[in-house]
Amino acid sequence: MALIPETTFQEYSNLVAELSQHNHHYYVLDNPSVPDSEYDRQMRKLQGIEELYPNIITQDSPTQRVGGVALQSFSQIKHVLPMLSLDNAFSDIELQDFERKVKDRLNHTSEIDYVCEPKLDGAAVSILYRDGILVYGATRGDGSVGEDITANVRTIKSVPLKLQGDNIPDILEVRGEIYLPKAGFEALNEAARAVGGKTFVNPRNAAAGSLRQLDSKVTAGRALEMCAYSVGQYQAKSKPTTHQGMLQALCGWGFKLNEYVETVTGVDACADYYKRLANRRNKLPYDIDGIVYKVNELALQERLGFVAKAPRWAIARKFPAQEEMTQLLGVEFQVGRTGAITPVARLEPVFVGGVTVSNATLHNRDEIERLGVRIGDVVIIRRAGDVIPQIAKVVLDKRPLNAEIIIFPERCPVCQSSVQRNDGEAVARCSGGLFCGAQIKEAIKHFASRKAMDIDGLGDKLVELMVDESIIFSVADLYELNDSRLVGLERMAQKSASNLVAAIDVSKQTTLAKFLYALGIREVGEATAQTLANNFGAIEIIAQSSVEELLEIDDIGPVVARHIVNFFRNPDNLSIIEALRNAGVKWVDIDLTNQSSQPLKGQTWVLTGGMQVMSRAEAKDALQALGAKVASSVSAKTNQVVAGPGAGSKLTKAEKLGVAVMDEAEFITFLSTQS
């Protein structure tokens, strides 16, 4: 037996204590103290020590149990079959090592079939049915004993109260993941912010917190969903022979399965599945943190058996962490095109969500106060997909003694005009208007952007340089530029100048919707600009419209209506529009008396999958020009779906609802008949 060095024993004791505390925060308090990536690092360090010194292992080591203990405020349910956790693989090499061990234990040389399942980021539950009727629902708890959450589980619409179909087992214990989709998470946090309440760090903790409400009415008000992924107790005359077969049986009995579950052969196919799902991850309407691979044959699972807390026949392959810890080094205040003052956190660079992050948004003064964040704090950064990195939480235990309170400026950091905050608005704004250099720059950048006037070659740095050098003062000045005024600027040679002048000239021919969007009216995005164009047809009519007339249009509320009216009542804005039109900017007004000009008016279309001949943006523009509303999700009210290569869940839902579907070739043919 190897002698344990004193320093190693101390390090081990500290790790056991820290990980146990993290488990308590995560499983009991629903308030994680560190991001998953930090927990994984500490756990792997602990496992490494235990592998070198097996005699060091204590009964309270986190490796000897799954999670936390049940809350005393809930009654407890003992799991007849323990709810075990999974070992993790963090690379293709570790995944290959997993399969090597599987084949060695089975004495197998042929390829093995695996079921690949997205690892939903929620809360694991056990739900027992007797004679097809729901008896109880329980959390995983410590793997042996969970909390009785039956009343809350019954409120979740994707959990059947009574099983449907044939060959229902006498006893069926369904195990699955209860999670909160991204849209429900954002709505929940937005509602909490509106009343100054506590927000959740991520959808996983929101789901866990929702399940542990003593008042089931609170749970019922949250958009929780459940996907089944396995069974525990099972008593029936017959049983499927594969895991995939078991999932199909669960589906037949009324349970929701994840749409991306797939059976593959061999570890190389598992690695390919990982890459494919990783590419889809950010577009999914729910969070996943990896893939679970399970040996498909149940007989092989039985032969492989279990170790102390995990099955030998399954493993989880993790995605790059979406949360990390780092230090807040400082805060800068940026000014947007509408004067909004946005605090931006400057961070010690940290790798999270697949990229190195050094900046994060703090939104506004209210968010700074809600978080209680100070300069010098250690913070948890969350980055999910293409979402701007955000500070999710302050790690108060690590706050330094010299942490500084963040002071919000009373004057604009660019033009020194006073900062104002209107009643009912969380955002503070510079009062300088077009006197403020920052607002001028951002307005020009927006005007030239791809979805607006699409001026190729007019990048952000060039806009800033031209404003700083007093070459342009407004968007209208762009159309007065010529080669001689541009040549000599940094990185601006004759050819670059000529190309930019040509691109500006091309941008003169646009559409009413794009022009309206380019003007940068507050709260008027692409969809609202298109709605205005489709309903009024000409900018002169929009400019003369009242709040009441605007409110008659679907999707335009009182706040947006007031912003539109105020914009067109401003003589400076009207003079810029006139200058742009005098410079040659033009479009074709929409003839609202001619029904054939908008044959799709009143219809809702959805684009899904890839587009090979034309881009998604071009397809969307074409549909909106014909009067259609282009939505991001399929519903019973959808008139038509255009499905390109790789179409997934939206196509499946359209087929289920009986919504008409056409492929790209049919779509292009359809467009040609409308011109």
DSSP 3-state of 370:
helix
Structure tokens at 312: 């030998």
Distance of CA 434 to the CA centre of its chain: 35
CB atoms within 10 A of CB 20: 14
- Count of alpha carbons within 13 Å of 656, Cβ hemisphere only? 8
Structure tokens at 45: 């360090």
Task: Give the separation between CA 658 and CA 645, rounded to whole angstroms.
Answer: 20
Q: Are 496 and 465 in contact (CB under 8 A)?
A: no
CB atoms within 10 A of CB 500: 21
Contacts of 51 (CB under 8 A, 6+ apart): none
Q: Say which DSSP state 391 is in.
A: E
Structure tokens at 346: 């400057």
Task: Give the separation between CA 150 and CA 137, rounded to whole angstroms.
Answer: 4
Helices (H), 131-241: 150-153, 182-194, 203-211, 216-220
Structure tokens at 347: 């961070």
Q: DSSP letters along 52-90, please?
A: H-GGG--TT-GGGSSS----TTS-EEE-SS------EE-
Distances in Å between the alpha carbon of 137 and those of 116, 149, 154, 310?
26, 5, 8, 22
The two beta strands, 604-608 and 640-643, are parallel
Contacts of 82 (CB under 8 A, 6+ apart): 66, 143, 144
Structure tokens at 548: 């009441």
Q: What share of the chain is helix, strand, coil (3-state, %, to 5)?
A: 40, 20, 40
Task: Give the separation between CA 69 and CA 201, rounded to whole angstroms.
Answer: 22
What are the backbone angles phi and psi of residue 147, rounded to the nearest 5°?
Answer: -95, 140
DSSP 3-state of 579:
helix
Is the dihedral angle over the CA atoms 86, 92, 95, 97 positive or is it negative? negative
Kindly state the helix (H) or strand (E) to which residue 39 belongs, with its residue range: helix 36-52
Helices (H), 222-364: 243-252, 267-280, 298-304
Residue found under tokens 């958009």: 223
Task: Give the separation between CA 115 and CA 295, rounded to whole angstroms.
Answer: 6
Task: Give the separation between CA 63 and CA 72, rounded to whole angstroms.
Answer: 24
Which of the residues are catalytic? 119
**Residue among 437, 430, 479 at smallest CA distance from 585:** 479
